[in-house]
Structures are given as structure tokens and as C-alpha cells.
Amino acid sequence: MLGNVRHHTRLGMADKPRVIGIDLGTTNTCVAHVRNRIPKVVPTDRGNLILPSVVGLSTKGELVVGAVAKDQMVTSPKDTIYGAKRLIGRKFESKVVQALRNYYSYEIVEGTEGEAAVMLGGKLYSLPQVSSFVLAHIKTIAEQFLGGPVTDAVISVPAHYNDNQRQAVKQAGTLAGFNVRRIVNEPTAAALAYGFNRSFDQKILVFDLGGGTFDVSVLQVNSNVFEVIATGGDTFLGGVDFDNRVIDYVLAEFQREHKIDLTEKPVAMQRIKGAAEAAKIDLTLIPNVLIELPYIDERKGKPVDLRIPLTREKLNELTADLVARTFQICDEVLAQRDLGPQDINEVILVGGQSRMPLVQQQIQAHFGKAPRKGVHADECVALGASLLGDSLGQIDSVTLIDVLSMPIGIGLANGRFRKIIDKNSSIPMVKSFRLPQPKEPGAERIEMDIFQGDAEQIVDNEYLGSLRVPAAAAGRKIDFRLDEECLLQVVVDLPNGPKKIELATRDTPAMLRQALQEEARKREAEQAARGGAAEQSRGGLFSSIKRFWGGT
């Protein structure tokens, strides 16, 4: 996300603040620092290299973070926030949030600015606040490990994040007490960890299959110049979706054997969730496992145990379409630049789910080469972010040229989306156009609704906010400016000079609200139809289980 960034001053070591790199993940968070130009991961308070991205409220009413919070997910699912990365920076009324509301055990509500928020212990928290608790915990851990204050951070985000999501992550870092020096795309950070100071001249593809999102970026690496050529992804394709397939299978097998439906039993569901994830991970190394959960339920006062065998072949069968989807996205991204798999020199794996043997086998088959093994899938994003942070202010810094992952544009009166800045535009950049006349004759102001996304209809894109300026500004120049972090600024040439305009976000535009309501009615009708079919289909019984962990 850093465009043509060159630094021409070197700070003295005594004056140089500590800068850490943070990979704020859907499932886990990883932090790294650079010492003597070598990046290293900072271990957590439990000695692990990753921290669960989980926040909870203990039985004593205390906020807990990380492994302690994850430990209570079984007993207190409603008071444990996980998967926040899928919600942060999204409007409450957006299609995505409305679809996810029934997928989590905790309560998702509307925040003070119309954004998605959560309830914890009867108190409303914004998603940046929730993420800031994780980041503040990371800050404490880093300061204890490094033996001094840590003030600055570079934080990574999925390449496919929109402007609102990037702004929300930066806000979370600020709330945690960091001076957020940069927001950087995860695949770009991973490429930096791979190629920094290695004098490569290659086209590389970063295949980032994490806990909640899938990103793919193609970069041209030439010495310490890292240029993103094209990028794409799916913010709802990740390890949790693989877990859901295992959970569906386990529930169906248990139902078939015992005639018991566990989907309405939160504690049992959380136990199955944990066991399914563990089984999936174990099948990376061994060919078969036994999912065994004693006393999962009872019948006539007697305990009923769950014992379901699962093989790697069965896991592959359950998730084959998810894996195929990742390669469909890879091909779409390559096609944007008239490239094919044969044009890629190296494939870099990022994210825990990329360790799945089926994924690696398919990479070998699709690209004609095995993925690069020298980059740690869980650590490389944090390592790359720390390298970037360490290079800021140095003469021999890296040059990162990133691109916009999704178009930014405006909504038209017919509900269609007009692109102003195209996908894969290099950043930083400015796109100028002229303000239109007010929508209604005699109106006192011009209103323009701004969206980001790949769809042709605004209802399928993310609402970023509304521009509101006096009607007298009609015909004047307006700039959409993207900085090196891919954050949007809107500047209007008003009669008294150029002025940065803050977008109004609290009120959803009437046109969008009407479209969303129509979508909601369609969704309810589809759900009702599926519900009727579920009575006749055993598999349909388990479509509701995803509300417990945010799958799609």
C-alpha cells in the first residue's frame, strides 16, 4: 500500500523510536521487531509466537485478551468476541453485516456512527475498540520483551480491505496507544519478508489464505523495489470456512448416529468448533484423526459421547470447492495484466490455511512449481511489516509501489455505480473531475454518495460516506486522493480555496436504504424457502450453525 515511498534521512540509533510490525489477523495476531537489521517475532506472554485475536468478558467482569479469552469461548460464547476482522469498518446496514448478524454467538448492534458494533456485558463497543484491546495487549508484550517503550507500529491489513476498514484499523492502533506509521497490505508485507535485500528480479505471487480472508497479489520484485502489479481476493474465504465444512460433517454424522440435533446447544457447538479446527490442523501432518468429545449431550439422563473419524481424503472432499475458488481468484488477478501461471517465478504462501496439503498440491499443479518453503506462513506478514517500519527514515529504504484493490466511485440516481478510480491504479494518486449540478432544482447543496467495490450496483458495494457541499460549488473541480496507505481524501476547489471534505457517514442515503431493504426482503424469502427445504433434507438442518463463528 505504500506508493513510491523513498526516505532520504537516517535517524541516529539513539533518536530512533522502536517500531514494531503487527499482523492483526482474524484468528491470530503476530508481532515482530527488527534488531541489527534482522526481523524476529516477539513471543506472547504464554511463550507462543501468535496471540489469539479474541476479546472476552470474564465471570468477574474483567476484559481479557488472547489465549485467556479464547479459553472461555466454550463457557461464555456470548461474552467472547472473535472474528472481529470480518466486521471492522463496515456499516451496520450493509449486506455483509446483516448476513453475519445471525452467524455469531455475541450480539452485533448499530454503533453511534451507523457502523457495526458489539455488545459485551451490556456495554456497547465499537469494532476499533475491540481490536485496540488486542493491539494494546500486543504493545504491553512487546514493551516487556524489548525492555522499553514501544511507540510506533506498522499494521497490516488484507489487500482487499476498503477505505472504511483501513481507517478503522488505523483508529484501533491509535486507541491502543500507537503512532501508526503505516497501514500496509498483507501480501505486500509478505513479499517484503521474502525479498528484502536479496537482489531478486522476479514476478512473485503471494497466496494469502488466512483465518478469515483470502488475498492474492502479483508483484514485480527488483532488488529492494516491490511493485504490486495486480491484486484481488475474497474477504469471506478463509480457514473458518474450512472449519465450517468439518463442523457440518460432524453434526450430520452425529445426527445420523444418535438422532440428536446439537445446533441449538451453544456449549456443545463451541466444543465441536474447537475440535473441528484441531482436527483440520492435525490432518496437515497425519492421514486420519478421531474427533472425540465425551459427554457432548445426554439422553434420558445418560451421557452421549461424540466419536467421529475424519480422514484427509474426506477433508479434501468437503473443501474441494473452497480450494478451487482460490485458484479461480488467482487466474482472475493474473488475467488483469494478461499474465498466466507460467509467468510466475515464485509462489509465496501466507496464512495458516495455506499449509493444507491439498492447497499445496494444487499450487504445484496449477503453477507448475512447488510453493516457496523459506517463508513462514504465520510470521512473514509481521516480519515484513517490521522491516518496513525499520526502513522508515533510512537512506537505503525499500520502495513499495502498491495499487488500489477495489474501485472507488459514486452512486447514480438509478442505483448504479460509476467508477472514479479504477482497480489496480498505482498509489498514491489523484483523480479529478467536476462537481455535478444538485440532484433537485433549487437545492441548497450538492450531495454525492461514495462507494467502493467491484459490483455494478451500489447495494453490492461498501458505502464510504456522502459528500455535501454548497450548490454554488457545481462545476468546480473535485479531487479523489489516495495516499500511500490507500486512504481516501476528498478535496473540493471551493470559492475560498481547496478544502478537504469530511464525508458524512451517520445517515445511510435513502436510495441505498431502499435497495438494502429490498435485498433484506429477498434474503428473508430465500431463507424461508431454504427453511422449508431443510425439513426434508438432513444437510439443511445444519445451515444455521454458522451463526456461532461467522462463516459464510
In 79-122, beta strands by DSSP E:
80-81, 107-110, 116-120
Q: Which of 153, 152, 170, 151 is nearest to 161 (CA)?
A: 170
Tens of pLDDT along 227-258?
999 999 998 899 999 999 999 999 999 999 99
Across the range 474-479, mean pLDDT stands at 93
Q: Provide the CATH topology of domain 239-316.
A: Actin; Chain A, domain 4 (3.90.640)
Q: Average pLDDT in the 46-65 region?
A: 92
What pLDDT is attached to residue 537? 38
The model's pLDDT over 164-184, given as tens digits with 9 standing for 90+, comes to: 999 999 999 999 999 999 999
Instruction: Note the CATH number of domain 408-513.
Output: 2.60.34.10
| Mean pLDDT over each residue of the chain, to the nearest integer | 88
pLDDT score, position 543: 43
470: helix, strand or coil: strand
CA 65, CA 176: separation in Å to the nearest integer?
Answer: 13
Q: Is the dihedral of CA 459, 465, 470, 473 positive or negative?
A: negative
User: Which of 93, 208, 241, 402 is flagged as catalytic?
Assistant: 208
Residue 34 and residue 390 in contact, taking contact as beta carbons nearer than 8 Å = yes
- According to the model, what pLDDT value does residue 179 have? 96
Q: What is the helix (H) or strand (E) element at residue 456, kind and residue range?
A: none
pLDDT of residue 403: 94
Q: Could you give the angle at the alpha carbon of 20 between the alpha carbons of 19 and 21, nearest 5°? A: 130
pLDDT recorded at residue 370: 94
| 476 or 396, greater pLDDT | 476
Q: For residue 373, what pLDDT band results from cuts at 50, 70 and 90? A: confident
Single-letter residue type at 514: Q
- Relative orientation angle of helices 357-367 and 312-335, to the nearest 10 degrees: 40
Catalytic residue among 79, 186, 379, 462: 186
pLDDT in tens, 265-297: 888 998 999 999 999 999 999 999 999 999 999
Active site annotation includes 23: yes
Say whether pLDDT at 317 is over 90. Answer: yes
Extents of the domains making up the chain: 239-316, 408-513
**What φ, ψ does residue 196 adopt, rounded to 5°?**
-60, 125
pLDDT at 352 over 70: yes
Supply the pLDDT for residue 14. 43
DSSP output for 381-450: HHHHHHHHHHHTT-TT--EEEEE-SS-EEEE-TTSBEEEEE-TT-EESEEEEEEPPPPSSTT-SEEEEEE
Q: Which residue is catalytic, options 70, 79, 85, 227?
A: 85
Reported as a pLDDT band with limits 50, 70 and 90, residue 395 is low
- 9: buried, middle or exposed (CB in 10 Å: 19+, 13-18, 0-12)? exposed
pLDDT in tens, 66-79: 999 999 988 888 89
Name the band, by pLDDT with cuts 50, 70 and 90, for residue 389: very high
Which pLDDT band, with edges at 50, 70 and 90, does 540 fall under? very low
